Amino acid sequence: MARKEMTNERAQSDARINSAERGGIGRSQIESLFKTHYTQMYHLALTLLFDEAESKDVVSDVFASLLSGKVVMKADNAKAFLLASVHHRCLNVLQHKQVHERFARLLTEDTDTLVCDNTVEEQLQMEELMCYVRDNLSPMEQNVFRLRYLREMTCQEVAEALNVSRQTVHAHLKQSVEKIRTYFNSNSKAI
């Protein structure tokens, strides 16, 4: 359903449809949609782009397109539609980034693997992985992974921040990566 709406969004960018003719949404509905779904939409964008300003822009753009009447949304699946729109726009932003940046920052490398519109399933997958991380990675390994990839510090910076040698950071990071790799291999998690 969500996929269908998403293709709708693409197709309608040139074939503008006046939402008023279809009994379009009013200000109060926009406000209520915004306040109900903003957090989830913003968080989804953040887990793809890892940049607060870019993520806010994406969510804002989705609501702006609703306002402009370029996109028509059915009220019965508002949440799925809004999340799919965020997903789609984030992938567009990612596609325009340099391969280097995507590689160094571990941004979703191949957009083909991420057309999964089912954000609920994706979130379950991430929560399952985090359960494994909490059970199998030491607090230090988790910390090093967090500083290196989420805070985007270099190994040298992590080493200096934690007051350990660069080799120690490297060893912890390698351990974390190996364990994460084991998780995917043992569960044969297709991504």
Sole window of 1-9, 52-60, 70-78, 79-87 interacting with another protein (rule: CB under 8 A): 52-60
Contact 63, 30 (CB under 8 A): yes
Q: Which is nearer to another protein, 4 or 132 (CB)?
A: 132
Question: Residue 112 and residue 191: Cα distance in Å, rounded?
Answer: 10
**First and final CA of the chain: distance in angstroms?**
21
Structure letter (DSSP) for residue 178: H
Among 21, 99, 135, 186, binds another protein (CB under 8 A): 99
Does position 78 bind another protein by CB under 8 A? no
Please, what is the minimum distance in Å from the beta carbon of residue 129 to another protein? 4
Question: Residue 163 and residue 24: Cα distance in Å, rounded?
Answer: 58
Please, what is the minimum distance in Å from the beta carbon of residue 76 to another protein? 21
From residue 139 to residue 178, the character string flagging contacts with another protein as x (rule: CB under 8 A) and all else as - is ----x-xxx-xxxxxxx-x--xxxx------x--xx--xx
From residue 14 to residue 33, the character string flagging contacts with another protein as x (rule: CB under 8 A) and all else as - is ------x----xxx--xx--
* Nearest in space to 38 (alpha carbons), one of 56, 65, 25: 56
One DSSP character per residue, 69-102 reads TSS---GGGHHHHHHHHHHHHHHHHHHTS-HHHH
Contact 148, 173 (CB under 8 A): yes
Q: What residues make contact with another protein under the rule CB under 8 A?
A: 20, 25-27, 30-31, 34-35, 38-39, 42-43, 46-48, 50, 52, 56, 60, 63-64, 67-68, 98-100, 103-104, 106-110, 113, 123, 125-127, 129-130, 133, 143, 145-147, 149-155, 157, 160-163, 170, 173-174, 177-178, 180-181, 184, 191
